[in-house]
Structure 1
Amino acid sequence: MLYPHVRATPNYTLNPYFDRAWPQNLYLNPESPLVQKLHPPEGFNISITPLVTFRRVDLLLASDQLTELYRTTQPYHASQENFDLLGGDQVWEIPPSEYLSLFTAPLPEANYGTLIASTAGHWTTGTFRGLRDETKPFEGIENVLSFFSDAMPVWARLVQQWLTSAEHSAEKNAGGGATTKGGRRRQVMVRAYLPGHDGCHYIFKPWELYEQENNTLSYNWGQIKLFNELFQVRAPLPPAITCIYSNNLFSLSWQTRTSATSTSSR
C-alpha cells in the first residue's frame, strides 16, 4: 500500500528462511516522489533511520523477570522441586530495557514517536508449562490469567518509570528521551489482542459461518477477552495515563507530564 514510498527489510522474497527474531523495518525510499516535499528533522538519515520497526516480543517482560516475579508472588509453588515456570513453547523475547532504549534512541538511529505493544497473545499454558494443570478447564488457563494479572502492573510501572527518567535526562540524550527530534511527545500504546478459533485461517470457504461451540479454541483464544480486561483493570493508571476501552479494543497512552494533554487512538 505504501509502495513506492517506502522500502522494507528484510526482503523475504530473496531470503525465505524467516527468523522471527529478525527486526523488520520500513525506511523512506529515496526514489519516492514525496522525498522532495518532505522536511525531515536535522540528523535524519534516509538510509539508516527507520520510519517503523517491528520486533517480536511475546510476553513484554523477559523470562528471568517473569521467573523472579513468580518467585515473589508464589514462593510455595516456585520452590517445588523441578518447577520451571516457562519451559514450554518457544518464545521470542527482548528485555524491556532493550526495546525501550531503542524506542527512545536519538537520531540518526531512530526518532520514534509511538511504541505499540500487544497484550496476551502468547500467555498460554503451552508457554507457561509450570502453570499448566490438565485437571482444570482449558488446562489451567486460570493460573496463567492470575499471573498475567500480577505481571502487567509491573510492566506498566517499568514503562512509566522509563519515560519519566527519559524526560529528566532528555538534555543529555541529544534529541532522545521523552520527545522526538521534531518535538512530539513520545507515547506507549497498548493494543488489545484479538481472539480467534481453529477455523479462522480456512480461506477456501470465507462464506462459512463458524459457531464457537462447534470449533476448538487452541492456545488462549477463548480467554483473550479476559486477558484484555485484566490488563485494563490491573495495569496502574496514574494521572499521566489514559485508557480507552470499547468492544474489546483499547489503548493506553503514556504522557510523561501530568499537565500535558493526553492523546489516544483506537
Structure 2
Amino acid sequence: MGNSRLKLVLNAFVNPAEPAHYLPLARSSNASTVFDFPRSSLDDPEKRQRRRSGSGSVSAGSVAARRRSPSLDDDSRDQSPSRLDADPSSSVDHPHWSRQHRHVLAVVLAVAAFAGVYSLTTPEVLEKARTTVGKGWDRVTGGRFSSIASQEANYFPSSTEVPPGASTWEPACSPSTWSSGRWTPLDPPLRPHTSIWDASPDFHAGACAQNWHRGAWYLGVVPPGTEPGLEGEAQADGQWPMSGYRRRAAGYRWEAGSETCQAEVEQPWLEREGDGEDEGTVKLLQDLVDRGAWLIYGDSLSEQQFFSLSCALYPHVRAVWPYPSMSEWRQVKEEHLFLVPDSPLVKSGKLRVPEDWDYDGSPLVSHVRTDHGLAPDELVSLFQTVHAKSAPRAFTALYPNLTSLSPFSPPEALLTDVETFSPSLDYTLQLFLRPSQYRNISTSISPSYAPSTTPPDALEIERQATRSGSYRALIFSTGAHFSARHFNLPFKPEGGPNAQIEFFDLALREMLNRFARALESASPEERRGKEVVVRPTTMGHDDCHEAGGPLDEEDEKKSSWWSWPDMWRMNEHGANIVRDFNHPLITWLDISRPSNLRPDAHTNDDCLHLSAGTGVVEGWTHYMAYWLRERAAWLDKGR
C-alpha cells in the first residue's frame, strides 16, 4: 500500500489535524488500534536529517507488513474465483455472482491487507510481544494510542472524569509565562552575619520538620553539623556557619513573567499578618487536606523539595521516615509529612480538617527516592529489549545508538559499581493509587533494598503511615543519574552519538506507559482526581561558587561539566515525549528556567544541588500548588 493510500485509510480512523487524547486499550474490547508514532524530536538537527534521508517514515506496521497474513498466503489466493485457474464453476456457471463475488472479495482483501499491515498493534499481538520479550513494544517505541472505538464507555478516561482538552489545558498563568520572569534583588539586602533562617524567607518558624539528617547540606551549610550557626561563626561543638555565598543567594525574589502570575502565584506567599501564616501556606495545606497529598518521586533534587516543604510547612507538620537510611550519605528510601493536631492553623480553625482525620495515617506530602524512576533490575530488563529479535523497525529508528551496542554479559554489567537507589515502579504506583494496601519495597541487585534492610518493624511503620492515605499528585523528576556514573553506555556530551540520552528516552517512555496503564486499571475511586506531573531536571553550573548573582538568560555553555550538557537534551526530549504521549492526566510542567538562572544558589559543596530556602526550590512548590489548584477547579467545572 502506497503512502498516499495508507494516509487515506488512516484518516478513516484518526484525524491527524487534532491530537488524539490518550486512550488505552479497553479491557473488554477487541477493536483494532492504530499506533501513531510521534514526530522525530529526539536528536539534534543533523541526526534528524540523517534519519529523514535514510529509511523514511517509520510506522508500527513496518514489521507486520513483511509478515504474511494467513488470509493472504499463496494457498488462499490460488483458490480465489478471480484467478483464471480457479474452480471453473465459480466463474463460468454464475457470471453475475462472480462479479459480486469479485467486488466483495476486493473489499475483503483491502480490509485484510490493512489488518495485516497493522496486525502488530492489536491487543493480542501486543500481549504476545510482552510475554516474548518482557516489555510491550508499545511501551518503548514512543507511540500513543487512539482507537476507532474511542467513544465506547469502557475506554478510559471518560468525559465524566476528564473533560475534553485536558491534555492541552493551561491556567491563566501558564508555566512558560511564570517562568519568563526574572530574579530581583531584595531591598534592603540581607546584612552579613545574619542567621540561616533570616536567609530563608519562606521558612517562618526557624526550624524544619525533617530534622534528622542532612539538614545543613540541604540548607547550603557545610561542613554538616547538627544545626547551622551564624555566618562566619564556627563553634566548638561542631556547628558550622552559613557562608557569605549562601547568604547572598537568599538576596533575591522571583518576579513572575506577568502581573497575573505575580498576583496568583507569588503574592500569596509574601503577605503575612503578624506571626500568622501567609496565604500561600494556608491554601496549600487546605488543598492537601481536601484534594489529597503530593507524592514526590525522584532523586536528591526531589528530596530537596521534600525537605523544603518540611521547613515551609513547619510547625503544622511533622516528619516520619519508616526505613533505615542508605549509604554513607544517608539517603532515605521513603519519608512523609503529617498534619499536626495542635497546629496553630488547626486550633484557630483557619485550616478546616475533617473530624475523623487520621493524623497518623494520612500523609500530606511523601517522598520516595528514585535515581532513574525504575529499580536496577527493571533497568536491566528494559535494556535487554534493545537486542530482542522481535524488535520492530520503529524501535531501532528511535534508538540507533542503543541498538548498535552489543548485549552485556551478564546483563547486570549494564550497571556500574555505583549503587542505584530506587524501589520498583510498581511499588510507587501501588502507594500512589492504593496507599492502604500491602507493597514490598525490596528489590534485587541493589544491596540497600535487600529484604534484610527492611525489618518487620519498619514495614509495619510504613503500613500504618499510609493506612488512610489519599494522593492527588505524583510529581516525578529524573535525569542527573542517566550518566556514565551509573551506566556502562557510551556518550559524547559535546553532541555526538549518545546512548545515555537514548536510554533516558527509553526509560521515560516505559514509565509513561506504566503510569497510564496503572491509571487505566485503577477503579474510578482510586483514579479520581489523580494527576501525574513530570518536572524537568535542574541544571548544574560551572564554577558556581564564583557566580556573583543570577543570570539574565539561560546559558547552556555554563553547564559543561560532568554530564550536564546531556541534561539539557534530556529535558528537551522529555518535553517532546510527554507532549507526544498526549495523556490527559500526565503533564510536563516546564518550570526549570528560574532555577537554571541561579548559578549563585547551589549548595556550598557542589554545583548541581540547590540550597533550600533561597527561593529557588520553593518556587517549584509555589507554582505546583497554583497549577494543581487551578487544574482541580477547571476539572470540577467540566464534570
TM-score, normalised to structure 2's length?
A: 0.32
1:162-181 to 2 correspondences below 5 Å: 162-167=518-523, 170=525, 177-179=526-528
Does structure 2 conserve the Cα–Cα contact (< 8 Å) formed by 1:148 and 1:227? yes
For 2:339, the equivalent position in structure 1 comes to 28
User: C-alpha separation between the residues in 1 aligned to 2:559 and 2:573?
Assistant: 25
Q: 1:207 Cα shift? A: 1.8
CA gap 1:157/1:41 in 2 versus in 1, 3 angstroms = farther
Is the deviation greater in 105-114 or in 84-93?
105-114
User: C-alpha separation between the residues in 2 aligned to 1:189 and 1:96?
Assistant: 15
For 2:476, the equivalent position in structure 1 comes to 117
Q: 1:109 Cα shift? A: 3.8
User: C-alpha separation between the residues in 2 aligned to 1:139 and 1:151?
Assistant: 20
2:432 matched to 1:103? yes
User: C-alpha separation between the residues in 1 aligned to 2:474 and 2:538?
Assistant: 19
| Identity within the alignment, % | 26
Q: State the structure with bigger RCO (CA 8 A, min sep 6), 1 or 2.
A: 2
Does structure 1 conserve the Cα–Cα contact (< 8 Å) formed by 2:334 and 2:366? yes
Please, which of 531, 543, 546 is the counterpart of residue 187 of structure 1? 531
- Superposed CA deviations along residues 148-169 of structure 1, whole A, max 9, x for unmatched, are 122211110100110111135x
Please, which of 389, 407, 411 is the counterpart of residue 79 of structure 1? 407
Is the deviation greater in 239-248 or in 206-215?
206-215
User: C-alpha separation between the residues in 1 aligned to 2:416 and 2:566?
Assistant: 22
2:490 matched to 1:132? yes
User: C-alpha separation between the residues in 2 aligned to 1:167 and 1:186?
Assistant: 12
Structure 1 regions of 5+ residues with no counterpart?
11-16, 171-176, 180-184, 254-259
Letter in 1 for 2:342: E
Please, which of 326, 330, 335 is the counterpart of residue 19 of structure 1? 330
For 2:379, the equivalent position in structure 1 comes to 66
User: C-alpha separation between the residues in 1 aligned to 2:409 and 2:432?
Assistant: 39
User: C-alpha separation between the residues in 2 aligned to 1:61 and 1:115?
Assistant: 15
Please, which of 507, 515, 522 is the counterpart of residue 159 of structure 1? 515
Query: SS state of the match for residue 51, structure 1?
Result: strand
CA gap 1:72/1:44 in 2 versus in 1, 3 angstroms = same
CA gap 1:112/1:217 in 2 versus in 1, 3 angstroms = same
For 1:54, the equivalent position in structure 2 comes to 367
For 2:314, the equivalent position in structure 1 comes to 3
Query: SS state of the match for residue 498, structure 2?
Result: helix
For 1:94, the equivalent position in structure 2 comes to 423
Query: SS state of the match for residue 232, structure 1?
Result: helix
Q: 1:58 Cα shift? A: 0.8
User: C-alpha separation between the residues in 2 aligned to 1:108 and 1:42?
Assistant: 17
Q: 1:232 Cα shift? A: 2.0
- Superposed CA deviations along residues 172-223 of structure 1, whole A, max 9, x for unmatched, are xxxxx113xxxxx0111000011113433x3xx55268987577512x2222
Query: SS state of the match for residue 113, structure 1?
Result: strand
CA gap 1:20/1:139 in 2 versus in 1, 3 angstroms = farther
Query: SS state of the match for residue 240, structure 1?
Result: coil
Query: SS state of the match for residue 55, structure 1?
Result: strand
Does structure 2 conserve the Cα–Cα contact (< 8 Å) formed by 1:126 and 1:132? no
User: C-alpha separation between the residues in 1 aligned to 2:564 and 2:425?
Assistant: 25
For 1:196, the equivalent position in structure 2 comes to 540
Does structure 1 conserve the Cα–Cα contact (< 8 Å) formed by 2:319 and 2:335? yes
Does structure 1 conserve the Cα–Cα contact (< 8 Å) formed by 2:315 and 2:343? yes
Q: 1:82 Cα shift? A: 5.2
Query: SS state of the match for residue 373, structure 2?
Result: coil
Query: SS state of the match for residue 117, structure 1?
Result: strand
Q: 1:91 Cα shift? A: 1.7
Q: 1:137 Cα shift? A: 4.8
CA gap 1:224/1:53 in 2 versus in 1, 3 angstroms = same
For 1:217, the equivalent position in structure 2 comes to 561
2:229 matched to 1:229? no
TM-score, normalised to structure 1's length?
A: 0.72
Report the RMSD for the aligned CA atoms in angstroms: 3.6
User: C-alpha separation between the residues in 2 aligned to 1:195 and 1:222?
Assistant: 9
Does structure 1 conserve the Cα–Cα contact (< 8 Å) formed by 2:479 and 2:537? yes
Does structure 2 conserve the Cα–Cα contact (< 8 Å) formed by 1:24 and 1:53? yes
Greater per-residue strand proportion: 1
Is the deviation greater in 28-37 or in 76-85?
76-85
Does structure 1 conserve the Cα–Cα contact (< 8 Å) formed by 2:532 and 2:587? no
CA gap 1:162/1:146 in 2 versus in 1, 3 angstroms = same
Is the deviation greater in 65-74 or in 94-103?
65-74
User: C-alpha separation between the residues in 2 aligned to 1:238 and 1:247?
Assistant: 19
Q: How many residues align?
A: 233
Q: 1:4 Cα shift? A: 1.7
